Amino acid sequence: MQGRSISRGIGTGELLISSEPISFLSGVDPETGIVVERGHPLEGQSIAGRVLAFPYGKGSTVGSYVIYALKQNGLAPAAIINEEAEAIIAVGAIIAGIPMVDRLPPEFSDLPAGATVTVNGDTGEISGDGDS
């Protein structure tokens, strides 16, 4: 599948999908990699080493630095996929060296959570094994 490249690099991991936006400031613990935002669909789950797909980011610009802190702590996602990238998440991915793409075709939604996917931030391509 072809999307738009936001941050360079290649990352592979288990697909973790949220239908809701994510705030990295106070929504994700940079010391554990766990989503801590109360009531969020991913509350209690680790994003570490996974391909994190969510519509867009929300919250403070400090969220970019939380993404960077996750990377420094070895707890960052392997890659990020957004429906539409915005500055907070894009800057975080770029400064942390996390591959990121957005604007994927509708068939992306056919990939099941838990599938192994590879995000190529250099070309904007996503490939998956389709297995859960």
Contact 51, 9 (CB under 8 A): no
Q: Which residues contact 63 (CB under 8 A, 6 or more apart)?
A: 23, 24, 25, 27, 57, 88, 89, 92
> What's the whole-model pTM score?
0.95
pLDDT in tens, 24-75: 999 999 999 999 999 999 999 999 999 999 999 998 889 999 999 999 999 9
- Starting at the edge strand found earlier in the chain, the sheet holding 79-82 runs 4-7, 100-102, 79-82, 51-54, 10-17, 116-120, 125-128
Separation between Cα atoms, residue 29 and residue 66, nearest integer Å:
8
Give me the domains of the chain, ranges plus CATH numbers: 4-128 (3.50.30.10)
The residues assigned a catalytic role are: 60
